[in-house]
């Protein structure tokens, strides 16, 4: 074990269900090893302004089932400046903090990477983002919950779509990543999926819908990731309406419902595992790396690599989605 005896934990960027479970795991693992743990409120912004408070075991009781983050989260433009990072470092020094666990996504890792290099400060990242686009882990905290939330919503939309023979375009989150859309589309039995990673063929969709219309099947579900190159669900639906005016076409944007809610068992397990592994890594002298789970095993990935690469969609899953929708 290293000589670290005081560490801090923060959550940064977009919130994700399971972040609280990760915080709990960090605090309780650190306490087990007789470390003092501090929680930083409002992410890097709070690190700059000194919003740092001691966390005990009791402070993280009854939070594993809660969505969001008890430490709050924020994006900090000031932390992008050298002066801001110096203030953040000074704040950590004022509290005698010797290591940090940063829970978040790509932006969180980017800030942590720069900070580690500038001040030779030990930081371990934990992937917390519903988008599941972080390289170095099969799944990120919050993704499973977000997909389950989306599928539950789609299942309910399916009931009314079927009852009224309607065509529904359902938009899910994913500006740059199609993981939520792909998993939601497969899990809900959608007729088509539009992803940011591929150029969805609207003409092909219209052709398929025309064939189904001749078979008197006017009920269908189309999942659209918000970052699709053809536009969001509203834009795609408007194009289809012009070509198929006889279809009763509706649009639903699930939106921020996907960020909230109690984390699933999978997310609680993943968050607990990664929070535990983050503290263990700090104690073993690791720094400038992110913990992840690949093929059921804990792995460490350098921040620079995690930032520069992306977690790519499984091409077999994409092909399977197309075949199963036929």
What is the CATH classification number for the domain harbouring 191?
3.40.50.460
Does 298 share its domain with 189? no
CB atoms near residue 262 (< 10 Å): 15
Mean pLDDT, rounded, for 43-64: 97
Three-state secondary-structure class, residue 225: strand
pLDDT digits (tens, 9 = 90+) for 298-325: 999 999 999 999 999 999 999 999 899 8
Residue 108 resides in a domain:
yes
Q: For residue 301, what is the enclosing H or E element?
A: strand 297-302
Does 166 share its domain with 195? yes
pLDDT digits (tens, 9 = 90+) for 185-210: 999 999 999 999 987 789 989 988 88
pLDDT digits (tens, 9 = 90+) for 55-96: 999 999 999 999 999 999 988 999 999 999 999 999 999 999
- Please give the Cα distance from 22 to 127 (Å, whole number): 10
pLDDT digits (tens, 9 = 90+) for 214-238: 666 667 999 999 999 889 999 999 9
Does 226 share its domain with 174? yes
Q: How many domains does the chain have?
A: 2
- The per-residue DSSP string of 88-149 comes to HHHHHHHTT--EEEEEESHHHHHHHHHHHHHHT--EEEEEB-TT--BTT-SS-BTHHHHHHH
- Please give the Cα distance from 146 to 67 (Å, whole number): 11
pLDDT digits (tens, 9 = 90+) for 122-170: 999 999 999 999 999 999 999 999 999 999 999 999 999 988 889 999 9
Residue 326 resides in a domain:
no
Q: Give the rounded percent of residues in the chain with a pLDDT score beyond 70.
A: 97
Does 171 share its domain with 247? yes
As beta bridge partners, residue 126 has 103
Does 44 share its domain with 83? yes
Does 231 share its domain with 253? yes
Mean pLDDT value across the chain: 94
End-to-end CA distance of the chain: give it in Å, rounded: 56
Residue 325 resides in a domain:
no
Write phi, then psi, for 2 (nearest 5 degrees).
-80, 180
Residue 323 resides in a domain:
no
Does 150 share its domain with 209? yes
Region of residue 62 (phi > 0: left; psi between -120 and 50: alpha; otherwise: beta): left
Does 116 share its domain with 22? yes
Q: For residue 308, what is the enclosing H or E element?
A: helix 303-308
pLDDT confidence of 1, banded at 50, 70, 90? very low
Cα separations (Å) of 238 from 157, 164, 230, 256?
Answer: 19, 19, 11, 23
Does 21 share its domain with 115? yes
- The confidence score (pLDDT) of residue 215 equals 64
Residue 313 resides in a domain:
no
For 154, the domain range is: 143-259
- Please give the Cα distance from 233 to 230 (Å, whole number): 9
Positive or negative, the CA dihedral 233, 236, 239, 244 is: negative
Three-state secondary-structure class, residue 52: strand
Residue 274 resides in a domain:
yes
What is the CATH classification number for the domain harbouring 16?
3.40.50.450
Residue 268 resides in a domain:
yes
Does 17 share its domain with 136? yes
**Residue that finishes a domain, picked among 222, 237, 259:** 259
The set of catalytic residues is 131
Residues 6+ apart with CB under 8 A from 80: 111
Residue 314 resides in a domain:
no
- The confidence score (pLDDT) of residue 303 equals 98
Does 251 share its domain with 268? no
As beta bridge partners, residue 170 has 223, 252
Positive or negative, the CA dihedral 128, 134, 139, 143 is: positive
Does 252 share its domain with 285? no
Q: For residue 220, what is the enclosing H or E element?
A: strand 220-225
């Amino acid at each position: 074990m290293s000589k670290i005896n005081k560490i801090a934990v923060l959550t940064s960027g977009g919130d994700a269900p399971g972040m609280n479970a990760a915080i709990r795991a960090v605090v309780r693992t650190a306490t087990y090893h007789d470390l003092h743990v501090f929680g930083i409120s409002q992410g890097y912004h709070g690190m700059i302004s000194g919003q740092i408070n001691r966390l005990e075991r009791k402070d993280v009781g009854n939070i594993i089932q809660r969505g969001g983050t008890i430490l709050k989260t924020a994006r900090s433009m000031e932390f992008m400046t050298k002066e801001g990072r110096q203030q953040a470092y000074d704040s950590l020094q004022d509290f005698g903090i010797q290591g940090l666990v940063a829970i978040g996504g790509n932006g969180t890792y980017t800030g942590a990477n720069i900070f580690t290099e500038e001040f030779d400060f030990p930081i371990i990242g934990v992937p917390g983002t519903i988008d599941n686009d972080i390289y170095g882990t099969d799944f990120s905290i919050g993704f499973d919950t977000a997909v389950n939330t989306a599928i539950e919503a789609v299942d309910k939309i399916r009931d009314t779509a079927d009852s009224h023979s309607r065509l529904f375009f359902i938009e899910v989150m994913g500006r740059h990543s199609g993981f939520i859309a792909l998993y939601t589309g497969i899990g809900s039995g959608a007729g088509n999926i539009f992803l940011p990673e591929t150029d969805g063929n609207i003409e092909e969709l219209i052709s398929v819908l025309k064939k189904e219309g001749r078979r008197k099947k006017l009920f269908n579900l189309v999942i659209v990731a918000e970052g699709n190159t053809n536009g969001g669900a509203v834009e795609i639906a408007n194009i289809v309406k012009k070509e198929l005016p006889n279809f009763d076409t509706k649009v639903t944007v699930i939106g921020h419902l996907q960020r909230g809610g109690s984390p699933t068992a999978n997310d609680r397990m993943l968050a607990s595992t990664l929070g535990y592994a983050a503290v263990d890594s700090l104690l073993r002298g690791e720094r400038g790396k992110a913990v992840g789970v690949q093929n059921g095993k804990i792995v460490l990935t350098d921040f620079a690599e995690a930032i520069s690469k992306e977690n790519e969609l499984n091409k077999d899953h994409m092909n399977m989605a197309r075949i199963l929708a036929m």
